[in-house]
Amino acid sequence: MSHTPLRVASIVGARPQFIKLGAISKSLASLAETDSELAVEHIIIHTGQHYDERMSGSFFHELALPSPDINLGIGSGSHGAQTGAMLKGLEDVLCHLCIDLVLLYGDTNSTLAGALAASKLNISVAHIESGLRSFRKSMPEEINRITTDHVSTLLFCPTRHAAENLIREGISGVICDGELVNERPRIGRAPATVDSPWIVNVGDVMYDSVLFHAAFAPNYIPELSATAPHLLEYAVLTVHRAENTDSASRLREIFIGANRLAEDIPVICPLHPRTVSSLEQHELRPLANRLILVEAVPYHRMLSLIKHSQLVLTDSGGIQREAFMLGKPCVILRSETEWVELLETGTNRLAGANSECILHEARELLSLDLGDAFASRLYGDGRAAERILRICWQWWSQD
């Protein structure tokens, strides 16, 4: 039996969401060529949360993403003002687009606004990167994740841990592992609804993306060549979480740790605009000349910086996983992580924002041979986006 096409709207707004959307968009294009049954019309709505060339435009270009069909141009603001403006803008456009399913990505304010706008219009929601928890509700992303998961009909978890978190929170629904059987996902027969969703461990779309895009990561590291051309080894550091950038003492500790580490190994630090302003505001300056601060870099350059490094230090969830996927040890600049399986491998360690801990963990990780620890398949098989699309179609065509 043939069905009318499924009209899906992807709502994105921030840097990591463009990467996840890239995996979905690429998989959609290849399924359109290979599976004549699967008919999906895809509309991209950009909230405008990130708007710079560095934070947005370069990602659309490198990931070969179609330009957004709609850009709300909301921009920066306090959480309430930003989320409220997105909510109103999204409601206005969703009312007119005849959308069957809204696809949401990760845990940003754009995700939250999309979840509220769609669910209040009774449009079904699918959440990619569902079930992640820091168990710390003072983190804005935790509120965004919990709210989005609890109004979603299709809960696409990147790991088994994430699926277990949802079950622990009392979300009852059909749970399965997203295994593809003859190219079809094995889902239970019960139809998914917002009150009885499907929880599926599909794998991580970021892994799909790394597998494809790592080949485009340039070998040349201009940051290093300009400053220290004779050095081949370096560490890469990123800091952007509000908990670190908005606290002068935490940011100072992180940069004290980085300055000291730079005495052992050069540290390249691409800076998120939020971090640039915080460093200026708190009058923090790098002391060591081997701590190399550069502007935020595009996706391929970031993969390249990770791929050729000896060590990664970060508070980003995406970069923690990218480090693992590219076989690099990682010091996590937080006191917890949503990606707990990384800690189990021993390749990633928590150091919070304590300069002594950062230095200690960095030196230890640099001294270890972790070869086999990167062999575990934590994030699926690189077909998470395909699973997601096939499951969306199965949900749509269920009788």
The set of residues, in sequence order, having a beta carbon less than 8 Å from that of 198 and lying 6+ positions away, is 153, 154, 155, 173, 174, 175, 176, 187, 188, 192, 391, 395
DSSP lists the bridge partners of residue 105 as 128
Question: In Å, what is the CA distance from 229 to each residue of 63, 205, 298?
Answer: 30, 35, 22
Vertex 297, ends 209 and 369: CA angle to 5°?
Answer: 65
Three-state DSSP class for 182?
coil
Nearer residue to ligand UD1 within complex by CB, 68 or 173: 68
Least gap, CB of 388 to ligand UD1 (angstroms): 21
Report whether 185 contacts 390 (CB < 8 A).
Answer: yes
Nearer residue to ligand UD1 within complex by CB, 274 or 282: 274
Which class for 108: exposed (0-12), middle (13-18), buried (19 or more C-beta within 10 A)? buried
Question: In Å, what is the CA distance from 188 to each residue of 154, 157, 174, 270, 344?
Answer: 13, 16, 6, 45, 31
Three-state DSSP class for 85?
helix
Least gap, CB of 107 to ligand UD1 (angstroms): 6
Report whether 100 contacts 124 (CB < 8 A).
Answer: yes
Write out the residues near ligand UD1 by the rule CB under 6 A.
14-16, 49-52, 55-56, 76, 107-109, 140-141, 240, 272-274
Nearer residue to ligand UD1 within complex by CB, 59 or 379: 59
Least gap, CB of 372 to ligand UD1 (angstroms): 31
Least gap, CB of 50 to ligand UD1 (angstroms): 4
Least gap, CB of 366 to ligand UD1 (angstroms): 26
Tokens encoding 372: 């086999």
Look up 127 and say whether it is catalytic.
no
Least gap, CB of 100 to ligand UD1 (angstroms): 26
Pairing relationship of beta strands 184-185 and 180-181 according to DSSP bridges: antiparallel
Question: In Å, what is the CA distance from 391 to each residue of 40, 105, 126, 225, 262?
Answer: 12, 16, 10, 46, 47
The amino acid occupying position 51 is Y
Please give the Cα distance from 153 to 45 (Å, whole number). Answer: 20
Point out the catalytic residue in the list 46, 213, 240, 272.
240
Nearer residue to ligand UD1 within complex by CB, 172 or 281: 281
Nearer residue to ligand UD1 within complex by CB, 280 or 364: 280
Tokens encoding 324: 């693992």
Q: Which residues are catalytic?
A: 240
